[in-house]
Amino acid sequence: MSSRYSVRMTEHASRISGAARRALTVEAATDVFAANGYSGTTTDQIARAAGISQPYVVRMFGGKEALFVEVIRQSLDRILASFSAALEPKPAQPLAALGAAYVTLAREQQVHLILLQAFAASADPAIGPTARAGFETLLDFLLHTAGASMDEAEAFLARGMLINTLMAINLPESPTPDARDLVAQVFASTGS
């Protein structure tokens, strides 16, 4: 996990801009938060993963909370970009296209784990508003961009939360027939 970021950061430390270093740090932090959760992550772990010093992480972001808020925002931006791409050209079943796009993104970039961590940490006064605003943005996209009804949006979001849970606990790898059947049924509607 951390070696790919450390190599990037240390090989180019003197040659990359502050913005590029910040982006690489957010990328490394995304992996660390996804693996360890918000509570189980320290800025020292993120610094090691990014190949920079812990004080530099704090100087860039002001601390773990602000960095996690940035990770949440960027994860939501990735989801919305993926959703927008899934609607071009207009698919026959837009919600199925969005579901498939989400599952692909979750498998590749672990956005589902970031969302779960954001919702779990929503009692935090900085994280809660960001998590709620992100959820509302996704709802707005479903209703006003994808053209879903409120019932369709509710079902889509509920299935998405179930998909997040199934992926987070790695149920798709379960050997039990009932678990395999549930996974097959849930993921069938996404085309994944």
Question: What residue has token string 């993963």?
Answer: 49
CATH match for 2-62 among 1.10.3470, 1.10.10, 2.40.30, 3.40.190? 1.10.10
Domain with CATH 1.10.357.10 in the chain: 66-188
Q: How far apart are the C-alpha atoms of 34 and 81, rounded to whole Å?
A: 20
**3 state DSSP class of 121:** coil
CA dihedral 162, 132, 24, 49 (to 10 degrees): -60
Under the banding of pLDDT at 50, 70 and 90, the label for residue 191 is low
For the segment 172-185, what is each residue's pLDDT rounded down to a tens digit? 999 999 999 999 99
Q: How far apart are the C-alpha atoms of 135 and 81, rounded to whole Å?
A: 15
Domain with CATH 1.10.10 in the chain: 2-62
Q: How far apart are the C-alpha atoms of 30 and 108, rounded to whole Å?
A: 12
Q: In the 3-class helix/strand/coil scheme, how is 4-63 assigned residue by residue?
A: HHHHHHHHCCCCCCHHHHHHHHHHHHHHHHHHHCCCCCCHHHHHHHHCCCHHHHHHHHCC
- What is the pLDDT at residue 14? 56
Q: Does 8 score more than 80 pLDDT?
A: no
CB atoms near residue 92 (< 10 Å): 6
The fold adopted by the segment(s) 66-188 is Tetracycline Repressor; domain 2 (1.10.357)
For the segment 73-127, what is each residue's pLDDT rounded down to a tens digit? 999 999 999 999 999 999 999 999 999 999 999 999 889 999 999 999 999 999 9
For the segment 11-65, what is each residue's pLDDT rounded down to a tens digit? 444 578 889 999 999 999 999 999 999 999 999 999 999 999 999 999 999 999 9
